[in-house]
Amino acid sequence: MIPLETTPLQTPRNPTRPVRIGAITIGFGHPIAVQSMTATHTQDVDATTGQVQALVDAGADVVRIAVDSPRDAEALAVIRQRTKANLAVDLQENYRLVEKVAPYVDKVRYNPGHLYHHEPQRPWQDKVRLIAETAARYGCAMRVGVNCGSVDPAKKEKYDPLDSITPMLESAWEHCELLDNLGFTNYCVSLKDSDPAKVIEVNRRFAERRPDIPLHLGVTEAGIPPDGIIKTRIAFEQLISRGIGDTIRVSLTVPNDRKGEEIESGRRILLDIAEGRVRSVVDYGLSTLNIISCPSCSRVENQAFVELAEQVKQMTGYARDHKITIAVMGCRVNGPGETDDADLGLWCGPSFVNLKRRTESLGAFPYDQILGRLKAELDQLIEQRSGKTHAK
């Protein structure tokens, strides 16, 4: 088991301000915190409390829980009574849920791109003000979580569709400016993508302009081990070695009983960086097959998603030498948008899996039929790009 306290980093750290999250503080030279997220249904209080404790036992400094409804918030209140863990909550479309969850958590995370789904006519600035005022009232930290698959639409419209980084940066900087003007500074920022090279660039550019704000690092939809760990390691090594990053999460597609691997992997990466075992050049190898998949979380409506991700990896082995990206997403919240950039994308519902070719929907298919349909599309794509038919 990786020791909970890693060797102090000898590399310079960005001069970020302190952000208190319950019993810990990130930024301002404090140890880099390691986080994970529960994958159980939040309303299953026993299972969720058990997973929180399992993650804490694995060494988690902060454990995040998704809350999508008032009933989830009621369950959260009970979970809070059963654990002393530093809890964070992931707000989704309904920003007003912050009023129901803030009394029970140490940190709230909102996504600027999701603020448009609920009360679309209300200015986003008013929504952020409510979140910040509520967080301040209950002593919560905040995370402004900018994600490549759900960027503020007003920012995306301003730039070339091939430029996914600048809209993320503008959104983050804008929200930081508003929070600073509101007098709320107990926040950090995350800028995530499934491509480690983009994670490196977007966080580097953000830190150049705002070196004072602590950064939460992660490669979203990193995928199945060991590939997901390798992708994440590449980003973390290059950023943390340059003094960028104050808290991390390794997002892996694993069954519920293996979620502790996210913590163990994060601690191992931090230990290696501290001891100088890092890569000198970022080389992601995008000339080969790239499978991305999201970490299992409580928004997943069918746990068969995890098994499906494994099956996709095994089935597509014959195409490993082709430069093709396949995305396997577990829910309707992030799935539709975060599969848009993949050559072939799957996003999973309770009974059906939606198949896409970039932004084009190809239909919804039962779990026991989706692999065959995916293979047919993959073979067709290989044929189109190579000019010859792949042997069936």
- Please tell me the least confidently modeled range out of 19-23, 133-137, 306-310: 306-310
Q: What is the pLDDT of residue 201?
A: 96
- Give percent of the chain above pLDDT 70: 91
Spatial distance between the Cα atoms of 354 and 367, rounded to a whole number of angstroms: 10
- Tell me what pLDDT residue 391 has: 45
pLDDT of residue 5: 44
So what's the pLDDT on residue 298? 65
| Helix, strand, coil abundance in the chain, percent, nearest 5 | 40, 20, 40
The edge-to-edge listing of strands for the beta sheet with 352-357 is 290-293, 325-329, 344-348, 352-357, 360-366
For residue 178 the two structure tokens come to 């508003």
Q: 6 pLDDT exceeds 60?
A: no
In this predicted structure, what is the pLDDT of residue 306? Answer: 86
- pLDDT the model gives residue 278: 64
Q: Which residues 6+ apart lie within 8 Å of 353 measured at CB?
A: 308, 346, 347, 364, 365, 366, 367, 370
- What's the pLDDT tens digit per position in 132-176? 999 999 999 999 999 988 888 888 889 888 899 999 999 999 999
Q: Which of residues 44 and 385 earns the better pLDDT score?
A: 44
pLDDT of residue 239: 95
Torsion of CA 296, 104, 173, 69, to 10 degrees: 60
Higher pLDDT, 68 or 77: 77
Q: Name which residue leads in pLDDT, 386 or 313.
A: 313
- 366 forms beta bridges with 352
What DSSP character marks residue 264? Answer: H
Please tell me the least confidently modeled range out of 121-125, 268-272, 302-306: 302-306
Q: 228: which residues sit within 8 A by CB, 6+ positions away?
A: 219, 222, 250, 251, 252, 253, 293
Could you identify the residue written with the tokens 């931090």? Answer: 270
Residues 6+ apart with CB under 8 A from 39: 51, 256, 259, 295, 296, 297, 298, 300
Q: Is the pLDDT confidence value at 356 over 80? A: yes
pLDDT above 50: residue 284: no
pLDDT tens string 190-239: 999 999 999 999 999 999 999 999 999 999 888 889 989 999 998 998 89
Tokens for 317?
């082995």
Confidence of residue 11 (pLDDT cuts 50, 70, 90): low
Average pLDDT over residues 340-365: 91
Domains for the chain: give ranges and CATH numbers: 19-274 (3.20.20.20), 290-386 (3.30.413.10)
Residues ≥6 apart with Cβ < 8 Å to 225:
252, 254, 261, 265
The string of DSSP codes covering 198-234 is HHHHHHHHHHHH-TTS-EEE--TTBBSTTHHHHHHHH
pTM value? 0.79
Confidence of residue 67 (pLDDT cuts 50, 70, 90): very high
Instruction: Give me the pLDDT at residue 334, please.
Output: 67
More confident: 377 or 291: 377
- What is the bridge-based pairing of β-strands 360-366 and 352-357? antiparallel
CB distance 387 to 330 below 8 Å: no
Residue 390's pLDDT band, with cuts at 50, 70 and 90, is: very low
**Beta strands 325-329 and 290-293: pairing type?**
parallel
pLDDT band at 252 (very low <50, low <70, confident <90, very high): very high
pLDDT at 388: 55
Three-state secondary structure call for residue 38: coil
Q: Report the pLDDT value the prediction gives residue 305, as an integer from 0 to 100.
A: 84
Q: Are 117 and 93 in contact (CB under 8 A)?
A: yes
